[in-house]
């Protein structure tokens, strides 16, 4: 019994000495007001705002009449003009970050939030946008802004699975929850994964459909947005390309281990000119707009209006050439070495790509285009006006086994780069260190 008490005391002492890596934020009155108002902005975002104070601010406040309160008023003016002309994505429509128009509009809203000079301006701008901007764009822009503004540091945001539960559970669960709500009856709703004994690949559906995994994947891409403009925003995303590799490499490693545990081989990388042998039926439904599209077995990639398979294969080849040459082309036609400590970061930036890509036009967008091609594979011409697929949302992408095949392909490119690097020198390994004795 004594050793148990000693262990508990030691643990408590350790926890007491621990400090948050984000620093301490005093929960004073001002902070608690910020926390409350931001949570209210997120509340039932698909419906009109029900909080009277925020409604009044949203009606009265005019961003275009307060341009001096923004560090950069240009995105504010453009956003207001588009809103006045009814040119923005309407409320109730599906928002996807992989649609250029949707994303550009969201970025205008985010920049309006980020460039607000103080909390009051930021809050009033959010109240103005709450019932005017598409709810998907609003939530995404507000979330990323809260994560990056100094005056909202420490604010706790609701997890996305509480805002968009339909993205994280199958339609059967949603229907059961609606039924219980309509009848005003308490209910315990159990969720089954989409795997069946007739589909060996779905033995590991429990991992791809895990709420925590999908939430982590979505949140990482909010912490490190591929559209982030470091020079304009004044914040450099340190090692973003390297962390893009590391995070997805960890997902692939875990997925492969789960496959081995279920008597399945390692996941195979996809090929742009090969069939995707295993289909996928998400069994999930949008809040509005119908079901997520399914993909039958043995489907092939198809050209989209703005993305051609040949172009993707060219991007792939150019990246491989850069890896073998251990240097990438820059926009100016110069070479940028991959044979140093920042090489893997540079490679990650051109493969995702982020705004740090050395030559976006030449190396393309291997990762992002792969997501779009997989998301629209069953309706490439838009003939049936199908909604975006699961691969077109970071919140749902890992549900599709093809997500892991895509990232295995990308991961293999990183591995090729690492295999071609020279070994560490003695000085690099033991710089500032020495072995004095062995025990």
User: What is the percentage of the chain residues whose pLDDT exceeds 90?
Assistant: 84
List pLDDT tens digits, range 186-198.
999 888 776 677 8
Residue 14 pLDDT exceeds 60: no
Residue 215 per-residue DSSP state: H
Token pair in block for residue 227: 């559209």
Q: Choose, from 352, 361, 392, 428, the residue flagged as catalytic.
A: 352
* Four-residue CA torsion sign, 225, 226, 230, 231: negative
Token pair in block for residue 63: 């961003």
Cβ atoms 367, 414 nearer than 8 A: no
Q: What is the pTM of this model?
A: 0.90
Name the band, by pLDDT with cuts 50, 70 and 90, for residue 24.
low
Residue 21 pLDDT exceeds 60: no
- Cα 144 to chain centroid, rounded: 11
What is the predicted pLDDT for the residue at 3?
41
What is the predicted pLDDT for the residue at 28?
87
Which residue has tokens 């926390």?
35
Mean per-residue pLDDT over the chain, rounded: 92
Residue 421 pLDDT exceeds 60: yes
Residue 20 pLDDT exceeds 90: no
User: Shortest CA distance to 95 belongs to which of 398, 392, 362?
Assistant: 392
Cβ atoms 211, 161 nearer than 8 A: yes
* 3 state DSSP class of 285: strand
Cβ atoms 293, 239 nearer than 8 A: no
Please state the φ and ψ torsions of residue 160, each to the nearest 5 degrees: -65, -25
List pLDDT tens digits, range 226-270.
999 999 999 999 999 999 999 999 999 999 999 999 999 999 999
Quote the crossing angle between the two packed helices 401-420 and 309-325, to the nearest 10°. 30
Residue range 272-294: mean pLDDT, rounded: 93
> Is there a catalytic annotation at residue 236?
no
Cβ atoms 70, 110 nearer than 8 A: no
Cβ atoms 407, 397 nearer than 8 A: no
**Domains detected in the chain:** 29-158 (1.20.1370.10), 196-421 (1.10.1280.10)
User: Shortest CA distance to 254 belongs to which of 416, 396, 411?
Assistant: 411
Name the band, by pLDDT with cuts 50, 70 and 90, for residue 13.
very low
List pLDDT tens digits, range 60-83.
999 999 999 999 999 999 999 999
């Amino acid at each position: 019994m004594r050793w148990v008490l000693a262990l508990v005391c030691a643990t408590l002492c350790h926890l007491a000495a621990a400090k948050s890596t984000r620093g301490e934020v005093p929960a004073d009155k001002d902070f608690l007001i910020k926390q409350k108002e931001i949570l209210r902005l997120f509340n039932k975002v698909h419906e009109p705002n029900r909080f009277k104070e925020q409604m009044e601010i949203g009606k009265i406040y005019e961003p275009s009449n307060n341009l001096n309160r923004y560090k950069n008023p240009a995105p504010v003016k453009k956003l207001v003009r588009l809103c006045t002309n009814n040119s923005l994505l309407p409320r109730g429509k599906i928002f996807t970050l992989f649609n250029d128009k949707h994303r550009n509009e969201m970025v205008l809203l985010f920049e309006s939030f980020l460039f607000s000079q103080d909390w009051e301006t930021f809050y009033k701008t959010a109240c103005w946008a709450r019932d005017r901007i598409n709810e998907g764009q609003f939530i995404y822009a507000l979330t990323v802004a809260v994560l990056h503004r100094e005056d909202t540091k420490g604010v706790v945001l609701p997890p996305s699975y509480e805002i968009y539960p339909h993205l994280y559970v199958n339609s059967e669960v949603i229907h059961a929850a609606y039924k219980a709500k309509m009848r005003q009856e308490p209910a315990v709703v159990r969720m089954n994964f989409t795997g069946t004994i007739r589909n060996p690949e779905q033995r590991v559906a429990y991992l791809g459909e895990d709420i925590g995994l999908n939430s982590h994947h979505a949140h990482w891409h909010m912490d490190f947005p591929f559209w982030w403009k470091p020079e304009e925003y004044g914040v450099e995303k340190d090692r973003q390309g390297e962390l893009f590799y590391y995070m997805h490499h960890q997902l692939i490693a875990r997925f492969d281990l789960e496959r081995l545990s279920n008597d399945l081989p390692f996941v195979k990388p996809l090929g742009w000119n090969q069939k995707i042998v295993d289909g996928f039926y998400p069994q999930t439904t949008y809040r509005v707009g119908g079901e997520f599209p399914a993909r039958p077995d043995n489907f092939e990639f198809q050209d989209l209006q703005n993305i051609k398979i040949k172009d993707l294969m060219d991007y792939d080849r150019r990246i491989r050439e850069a890896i073998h040459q251990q240097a990438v082309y820059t926009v100016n036609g110069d070479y940028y070495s991959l044979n140093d400590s920042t090489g893997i970061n540079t490679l990650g930036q051109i493969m995702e790509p982020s705004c740090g890509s050395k030559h976006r036009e030449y190396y393309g967008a291997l990762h992002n285009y792969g997501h779009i091609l997989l998301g629209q594979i069953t309706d490439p011409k838009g003939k049936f006006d199908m909604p975006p697929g699961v691969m077109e949302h970071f919140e749902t992408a890992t549900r599709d086994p093809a997500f892991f095949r895509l990232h295995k392909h990308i991961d293999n490119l990183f591995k090729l780069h690492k295999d071609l690097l020279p070994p560490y020198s003695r000085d690099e390994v033991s710089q500032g260190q020495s072995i004095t004795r062995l025990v």
